[in-house]
Structure 1
Amino acid sequence: MKIFITGGTGFIGSALISELRDCRITVLSRDPARASEQLGSHVQAIGDLDQLASFDGYDAVINLAGEPIINKRWTPRQKALICESRWQITRQLVAKIQASAQPPHTFISGSAVGIYGDQHDTVIDEHFDIPAHVAADDFAHHVCQQWENIAREAESDATRVCLLRTGIVLAKHGGALAKMLPPYRLGLGGPIGDGKQYFPWIHLDDMVRAITFLLHTQDAQGPFNMTAPDPIPNKVFSRTLARTLHRPHFLFTPAFALKLALGESASLLLEGQRAIPMKLTTLGFEFHHRHLSQALTDLLSH
């Protein structure tokens, strides 16, 4: 299979490419030489999408690119960067798919569970009806909804579109968990705010396997919650992580401190979604890491 991937040097993308080592992969990268060296001999890297007139000859396109949404305060400039880093590349990919005489059969494009807004303890599957106030006021929803709308323009009789509504991907050497580990190892970890907000997590291994599953499942299309079947409140996550590391668990991060430090972007940590992967499981995908304690033990014992 011949596949084009954006975001291939990120921690999800590089793990996915390792899993797809029997495929012919082309990645888009700002530094093609470094990307080729990092990702392996089965990967060709290009620096500009304009090097391709279309996606004729490609079986699939996987779009994982985007400016990190949590790393900085959401100033107007940062919000614009978050949006355009997702929307612009997706528009370009869709245009190349539409320009193809024989377009790829599958377009898999990123999104996030943030599209649902803060839903407290309501169980959310892919058919959840997003309330009007979320659609009107929530920045994360706005980013993801427009991202998905653009990606859906690639849908045709020849091309199916799968949208990855991704939760918090757990990996030892990247993402949220890697940032949490230093304070927790010092015994300084604890819940965020009141800890009641749900934490829709997924093990990196299952994230990669689920993307590969969607790639090979012809009936798969539309949005998919890329989350483990057992979302838990933040305070339970925090306690489980401390216990896995054999560290004390008595501190917490007050909501006001996060809001002072991060401004509006603190909402990503103080709000949550009890999202479940109904469509994945209905199609027959089997999670290797269904429960948090087992997932953390797997990640932290290596």
Structure 2
Amino acid sequence: MITRFLEELGLTKRRGFLIVSALLVWISAIIASGAGWNPFANTWDFSNSGAFGDSFGPLSALMASLAALGAIATYRAQSSEIGRVREREEELDEAASADRERAITREFLADERALRQNFESTYFQLLEMLRSLVNTLDVEIYVDQIEKGHDAFKALLEAFKAGSQNPDADKGELWLAFSNKYKNDLNHYFRLMYHIVKFVKYSEMDNRYFYIQLLRSMLSDSELALLALNCEYGYGRDKFKELIEEFALLHNLSEAEKDYWDLESKFKPEAFEFRHADSVFEFVESEDISAPDKV
């Protein structure tokens, strides 16, 4: 404690020892004299007591200085201690802030995982409904000739081609008549497709195009052609067509079908573009690289 006090005063141990020793000798001599100790057998001349009393003036000044220095040292020590306490409090505040941020991050990630799980649960249920609908679909284009599943869509497309050979015929009217004839097979399929794409579009997922890619990979060439025809001539032109263009739903459509129906003049180029996902969470349009196998 004494060493720390001397350090606060800016004194070395040696100087501090000398000062303290001198003070102790001075004080001891005064006390001994007051007790009657007179090693030199001198008689006291009280006429000189005033002068003797004045000799304590420097001592008083010295004691006052030491008291001031002690107060300064105490102030410095307290200031240093307060500084250390404040630094510790700041460290604790920073640690608490970091803990809060980690807790918020964990909570956010948990919410994000829950949101994604809820979305994917519903989305894959919709895809299963679509798969089941396709598998159970059966149409009778010709007498006693029933086509099922994806073959049913191929038969429907071929039937519409056969009925729209006349170049002067209004394809819009032909399609409405055709879709009305097979409304029990087609309309439910088109509605379900529309609601799946709409569900993805208005979800809070960052990687919506990724989920559209999954949907697109399930569709046959005939299904894509029928979707395009419905969006050009049928009820899908009001709402579904813009979603097809936004999410490039016709990207996998064959060149033969695009040319046969002249679809590239009827849809925006975005409907056929290739896009690839840089990560699961985002996609970018590809312009300068060769497209791999269609997905």
TM-score of the superposed pair, with normalisation by structure 1: 0.24
**Relative contact order (C-alpha < 8 Å, sep 6+): which is higher?**
1
Which one has the bigger helix percentage?
Answer: 2
Higher Rg:
2
Which one has the bigger strand percentage?
Answer: 1
TM-score of the superposed pair, with normalisation by structure 2: 0.25
